Amino acid sequence: MKTPLWYQKLLRWTEGDEPGLAEPAAHVENPPQPRAEETPYESGPSLLQGAGGPINRVLTKVFAIFSCAVFALVMLATVAYLPRFGDQGNAPVNETSRRYIEQGVQEVGATNLVTNIILVYRGFDTYGESCVLFLGATAVIMLLEVDSKNTTRRDRALLRRGDELDRITRNQILGHVTRVLMPVILLYGLYILCNGHLSPGGGFAGGSILGGALILCENAFGVEKVRSFFNHHVYHAVKVGALILYAILICYTIYVGANGLPNIMPLGRPGSILSAGIILPINVAVGLEVACTMYAFYTYFGRGDL
């Protein structure tokens, strides 16, 4: 059977060739050597090929669908046993949530109760979550950063050509609109970042807006422009600085709290911008971390480099 054209295109695209580009033949002197793969192990089916012959494959599918269906039914049956959502008499309405709601503002100082819970009451968990972000970005760098193992010279040449093409055909409308919008986006991001203890928002939300602004900037003005103010060094400095600031604040709070020492961080007057002790600096640190991570994900998935 002849493979349809769209499928061939899809294949070419998944293999990293730009569908719109002609084959780069002229400036690739040495044809790339096929990567030396390890000899695949004989035993054990490969993940992508599926096991054995066609009957085996059908059986695998039938089994997968069957087990998913059974799992879904069992889960639905379990949900029937759970209490109705939002009832007053439910188990989670207990002394834990009561104290969060009734004393949260006095004890921690932020009028946004959710921020109180995630950054102070359960600050250790949230620090763990920030480390998940850090870890995610590091894992992506480990896998996708351009190196001699994962990128051939042809890939690099393609990437350079793509950049060139991008520079020539850059969208003028996007550039102009971005120039107008950028200050507003940045202001909005900073507002959400710094008001996390007063209104819905905070580091995670504000940081994603800032990260989005960086991505927009990259699209509108090209990667060189972004590199001029946000390169490797800035990226690492900001990311590590933010996480260490966060770690110091949270460690201090935990150590002081656990050993019954006096806490010198002032709580301030609830509702004012400079209040709630460690929450504001933590929100800023989380925001910077999130912005860096988002932009890193975008750029490493795209070009494998900052």
Partner 1 sequence: MRLFYENFPFFCVFLGLLCGIVTTLIRDGKKARYLTLLMLAVCAVLSGVVFAETARAGRCFSYAMGAFPAPWGNELRSGPIEALLSMVFCLVMIFSLLGGKADLEEDILPEKQNLYYIMMDLLAASLFALCFTNDMFTGYVFIEINTIAACSIVMAKDSGQTILATIRYLIMSLVGSGVFLFGVSMLYTITGHLLMPNLLPAVTKLFSNPAYDYPLAMLAGMICVGLAVKSALFPFHTWLPTAHGSATTASSAVLSGVVLKGYIILLIKVMCRVFTPAEIGSLGVGSVLLVLGAGAMVYGSVWAVREPHAKRMIAYSSVAQVGYIYLGLGLCTTMGIAAAIFQIIAHAFTKPLLFVSTGGLIDASGHQKKLYFLRGAGRRCPMAGVGFTIGGLSMVGLPLLAGFVTKLVLGRAALAEGIPQWQMIVALSAIAISSLLNAWYYLPAIVQIWKGGEADTDGVVYSHEFVPSLSFKAAVVCMGLAVILLGCFAHPLIELLTKSVSLL
Instruction: Determine which residue in the list 38, 88, 106, 168 makes contact with partner 1, applying CB under 8 A.
Output: 38
Verify binding: residue 15, partner 1, rule CB under 8 A. Answer: no
At closest approach, how far in Å is the CB of 233 from partner 1?
A: 10
At closest approach, how far in Å is the CB of 142 from partner 1?
A: 4
Verify binding: residue 149, partner 1, rule CB under 8 A. Answer: yes
Verify binding: residue 120, partner 1, rule CB under 8 A. Answer: yes
Instruction: Determine which residue in the list 25, 26, 48, 180 makes contact with partner 1, applying CB under 8 A.
Output: 48
Verify binding: residue 138, partner 1, rule CB under 8 A. Answer: yes
Instruction: Determine which residue in the list 58, 72, 132, 165 makes contact with partner 1, applying CB under 8 A.
Output: 132
Near partner 1 by CB under 8 A, which window of 19-27, 35-43, 220-228, 297-305? 35-43
Chain positions 228 to 247 lying near partner 1, rule: CB under 8 A, are 236, 239-240, 243-244, 247
Instruction: Determine which residue in the list 28, 113, 114, 131 makes contact with partner 1, applying CB under 8 A.
Output: 131
Nearer to partner 1, 135 or 273 (CB): 135
Nearer to partner 1, 7 or 255 (CB): 255
DSSP labels for the chain? -PPPHHHHHHHHHHTT--TTSPP--TT--SPPPPP-PPPPPSSS--TTT-SSSHHHHHHHHHHHHHHHHHHHHHHHHHHTTSPPTT-TT-TTSSHHHHHHHHHHHHHH--S-HHHIIIIIITHHHHHHHHHHHHHHHHHHHHHHS--TTT--HHHHHHHHHHHHHHHHT--HHHHHHHHHHHHHHHHHHHHHHHTTTTSS--HHHHHHHHHHHHHHHHHHH-HHHHHHHS-HHHHHHHHHHHHHHHHHHHHHHHHHHHTTPPP-S----TTSSS-STTHHHHHHHHHHHHHHHHHHHHHHHHTS--
Positions that interact with partner 1 (CB under 8 A): 35, 37-38, 40-44, 46-48, 74-75, 77-78, 81-83, 90-96, 99-100, 107, 120-125, 127-129, 131-132, 134-136, 138-139, 141-143, 145, 147-150, 236, 239-240, 243-244, 247, 251, 253-260, 263
